[in-house]
C-alpha cells in the first residue's frame, strides 16, 4: 500500500515527507495505523550515521497505534487492538530463551539492519529499496509493519497517542531504575541528562521511594522539570564541581547513578560521584568505538558500571506496567510530551535538539 512516511535521504539531512510503498504483510507481522510516534535521540544518532545505516531511510521506533490487519500466524493481537511497538529481540538465542530479551545476542541486527531477517525490504520509494524495518517498525509514517514479537497490546482506556515513548525512551529510563538498579526506599541516585530517558528515571526513582534524587543537566528548563517530577536536588554541570557537589549531597556519594547523555566525560562523573559500593548504569549511546577513562582503583573498591539496554525490560510485561503507573498518576509522561503533526517533523527535531521540548511526539 502507498503510505506517507518521513524519509531521510542523506547523512544529517532533513526529513522529507514522501509517499512510499509499504510491502505486503507477512504471516508473523502486524499492520499498525500509527497514532503517535516519539522522536528519540537514537533516531538522530542514526540520521547522523553514528550507527551504520544507509539512505534513504525511514526511522521512528516509538510508535503507538491501532492494529489494522494481522498475518495468518499472529495470535497476540487482533484488528482494533491498541498497541505500542518496541524493540525486537530474536527469540532464539540463549538470552531470549532465558526470558532476557534486552541481552539478545542479535539485538543490533534485529533493530538496525534496515531489512527483515531474510534480507527483504519493507519499504520502497520509486521502486528502490529503503533502509526501513527500523526496530521492526519504521514508524515515522502513517502505517507500520511491526513484527508480532515487538508489538505490545495495551489497555484501550489509556491515551494511545501518548504511549509510543513507552516503547523506548520511557521504558529505558524507568526500566533502568525499576528492573536493573532496583534501589530500595531511602536510597540515593544521581541522574545525568534530563531528556526523556533521564526524566523517566527520575519519575521511577520517586516511585520506588529514593529519598535523594539528584538531576544533572545544563538546561535550566530541564532541571526545573526534573524538580517537578521528583528530583530532590538539581545540579548545573556548567557551574563545575558536579562530582564534589553530588558527593556532598549524598554524604559520601550516591548509591546509584545513571549516565543518560552518551558523553564520555559525563560517564566518568557518574562513576566518580558514587559511594562504595555503588552502581552506575550506562544508558547514553555514543558513536561506535567511543572510549572512556576510569580510575581503576575507584572501581576496585566496589563500584560497578553496568550497561543497560531498553531498561532491561520484558516489554510484554513492562509496558503494561508503565501504562498502569501512568493511570495511577505515578508516571506523568504528559508533562514531558509535545505533539506535532508528522509533516512538522523537522520542527519537532529542531525543538528537541535545542531543548525546547523534551519528548516530541508526531501524530501522523
Binding site for ligand NAD (CB under 6 A): 40-42, 45, 168-169, 172, 192-198, 216-219, 222, 237, 260-263, 266, 283-285, 308-310, 355
Place of cell 539528584: 214
Identify which of residues 203 and 249 has a Cβ nearer to Zn ion in the complex: 203
Q: Cβ–Cβ contacts within 10 Å for residue 155, how many?
A: 12
Spell out a b/e string for 235-271, using b for 16 or more CB atoms within 10 Å of the CB, else e.
bebeeeebbebbbebbeebbbbbbbbbbbeebbbbbb
Q: Which does 70 bind (CB under 5 to 8 A by kind): ligand NAD, Zn ion, none?
A: none
Place of cell 495495551: 154
Q: Which does 90 bind (CB under 5 to 8 A by kind): Zn ion, ligand NAD, none?
A: Zn ion
Residues 10 and 54: beta-carbon distance below 8 Å: no
**Residue 171 binds to Zn ion (criterion: CB under 5 A):** no
**Residue 166 binds to Zn ion (criterion: CB under 5 A):** no
Q: CA-based diameter of the chain, in Å?
A: 62
Q: Which does 310 bind (CB under 5 to 8 A by kind): Zn ion, ligand NAD, none?
A: ligand NAD
| 111 contact partners, CB below 8 Å, separation of at least 6 | 61, 87, 88, 134, 135, 136
**Residue 117 binds to Zn ion (criterion: CB under 5 A):** no
Q: Which does 187 bind (CB under 5 to 8 A by kind): ligand NAD, Zn ion, none?
A: none
- Candidate residues 17, 18, 45, 90; the one interacting with Zn ion per rule CB under 5 A: 90
Nearest distance in Å: CB 358, ligand NAD:
6
Q: Which three cell numbers stand for residue 245?
A: 557537589
Q: Which of 142, 156, 155 is nearest to 363 (CA)?
A: 142
- Candidate residues 89, 111, 151, 171; the one interacting with Zn ion per rule CB under 5 A: 89
Binding string, residues 195-234; x marks residues near Zn ion by CB under 5 A: ----------------------------------------
Residues 20 and 3: beta-carbon distance below 8 Å: yes
Q: Which does 237 bind (CB under 5 to 8 A by kind): Zn ion, ligand NAD, none?
A: ligand NAD
Question: Which pairing describes strands 188-192 and 212-216: parallel, antiparallel, or unpaired?
Answer: parallel
Identify which of residues 183 and 284 has a Cβ nearer to ligand NAD in the complex: 284
Report the interface residues with Zn ion, using CB under 5 A: 40, 42, 89-90, 93, 96, 104, 168
Amino acid at each position: 500500500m502507498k503510505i506517507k512516511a518521513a524519509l531521510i535521504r542523506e547523512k544529517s539531512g532533513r526529513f522529507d515527507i514522501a509517499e512510499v510503498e509499504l510491502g505486503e504483510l507477512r504471516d508473523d507481522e502486524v499492520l499498525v495505523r500509527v497514532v503517535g510516534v516519539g522522536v528519540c535521540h537514537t533516531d538522530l544518532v542514526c540520521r547522523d550515521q553514528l550507527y551504520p545505516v544507509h539512505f534513504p531511510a525511514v526511522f521512528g521506533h516509538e510508535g503507538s497505534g491501532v492494529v489494522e490487519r494481522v498475518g495468518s500466524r499472529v495470535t497476540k493481537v487482533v484488528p482494533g487492538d491498541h498497541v505500542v511497538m518496541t524493540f525486537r529481540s530474536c527469540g532464539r538465542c540463549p538470552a531470549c530463551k532465558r526470558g532476557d530479551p534486552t541481552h539478545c545476542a542479535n539485538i543490533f541486527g534485529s533493530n538496525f539492519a534496515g531489512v527483515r531477517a531474510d534480507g527483504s525490504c519493507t519499504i520502497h520509494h520509486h521502486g528502490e529499496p529503503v533502509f526501513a524495518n527500523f526496530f521492526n517498525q519504521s514508524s515515522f509514517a502513517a502505517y507500520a509493519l511491526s513484527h508480532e514479537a515487538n508489538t505490545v497490546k495495551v489497555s484501550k482506556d489509556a491515551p494511545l497517542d501518548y504511549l509510543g515513548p513507552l516503547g523506548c525512551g520511557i521504558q529505558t529510563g524507568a526500566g533502568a531504575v525499576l528492573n536493573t538498579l532496583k534501589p530500595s526506599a531511602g536510597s540515593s541516585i544521581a541522574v545525568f541528562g534530563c531528556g526523556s530517558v533521564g526524566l523517566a528515571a527520575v519519575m521511577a526513582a520517586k516511585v520506588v521511594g529514593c529519598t535523594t534524587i539528584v538531576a544533572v543537566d545544563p538546561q535550566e528548563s530541564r532541571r526545573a522539570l526534573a524538580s517537578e517530577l521528583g528530583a530532590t536536588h538539581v545540579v548545573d554541570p556548567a557551574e563545575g564541581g558536579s562530582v564534589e557537589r553530588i558527593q556532598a549531597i549524598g554524604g559520601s556519594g550516591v548509591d546509584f547513578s545513571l549516565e543518560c547523555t552518551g558523553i564520555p566525560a559525563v560517564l566518568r562523573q557518574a562513576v566518580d560521584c558514587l559511594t562504595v559500593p555503588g552502581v552506575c548504569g550506562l544508558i547514553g549511546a555514543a558513536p561506535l568505538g567511543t572510549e572512556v577513562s576510569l580510575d581503576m582503583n575507584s572501581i576496585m573498591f566496589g563500584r560497578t558500571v553496568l550497561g543497560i539496554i531498553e531498561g532491561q525490560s520484558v516489554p510484554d510485561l513492562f509496558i503494561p506496567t508503565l501504562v498502569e503507573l501512568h493511570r495511577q498518576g505515578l508516571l506523568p509522561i504528559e508533562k514531558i510530551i509535545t505533539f506535532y503533526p508528522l509533516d512538522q517533523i523537522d520542527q519537532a527535531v529542531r525543538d528537541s535538539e535545542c531543548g525546547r521540548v523534551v519528548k516530541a511526539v508526531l501524530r501522523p
